Homo-oligomer: A and B are copies of this chain.
Amino acid sequence: MNSGPSARRGPKPKPDTRDNLIRAGLQAIHADGFAATGIQGIVERADVPKGSFYNHFASKEAFGAEVLDAYSDLGLERLRAFLANSDLPPLARLGAYFDDRIKAFTAGGYARGCLLGNFSAEAADHSPLIREHLVQHWDAWTKALEGCLAEAQGQGAIDGRLAPASLARFILNSWEGALLRMRVEKTGSALIECKSMILETLLPSRRPS
């Protein structure tokens, strides 16, 4: 039968060329933006001949989508790790995540922001492929947050009339907006204010009488 994956032909691919390209591309695109990043710079960073790039990726656009995937997967894993920490009540986990990110962005000089937001601004309008990936990733991050909020609501830490799904979307969107402001001001204020506005004002809110 031998119905397994058909054996490949051709020279052995250097096993980590592809990963090296993704890694180099992630660094470069995160630092400089998608449009401003050239294939040339990426292949040089990855120490890969320029022509080899298109053996692994159909286009710059497809490459960008994979870089985005890699970034999102990593970040989502971290988010989930924080939100799953059962040593803390749900909202404290969210607070800890915020604090961790604030610390990281502070260490990074308040630059670069979140690649999801960056791609959304730069590529969502022009690349249907990247846009589709963005939809999935934003949604996945939202879902992770939503789970935590639902848990908090179950414990009475959040007004029962607020829908966790809407809250999660709003919180994530607001955080991304705060990241834009942070990059402009080169200060952590926007992030700190975002955290406190959400955790101290929005979530504990009660409807007006």
Contact = CB atoms under 8 A, between A and B. Distances in A.
Interface residues of A, number: 50
Number of copies of this protein chain within its complex: 2
B180 A174 contact: no
A167 B180 CA distance: 17
Given A169-B193, A206-B205, A121 B124 contact: no
Contacts of A202: 197, 201-202, 205
A32 B111 CA distance: 22
A113 B134 CA distance: 16
A143 interface: no
A89 to B, nearest CB: 14
User: Which secondary structure characterizes the binding site on chain A?
Assistant: helix
A190 B169 contact: yes
Interface in A43-91: none
Contact of A177 (B33, B35, B173, B184): B173
Residue of A111, A121, A122, A205 most packed against chain B (CB within 10 A): A121
A118 interface: yes
Contact of A173 (B118, B166, B169, B174): B174
16 contacts: A33-B121, A35-B122, A36-B122, A117-B121, A117-B177, A121-B121, A121-B180, A122-B122, A131-B184, A135-B185, A169-B190, A173-B174, A174-B194, A176-B180, A177-B177, A205-B205
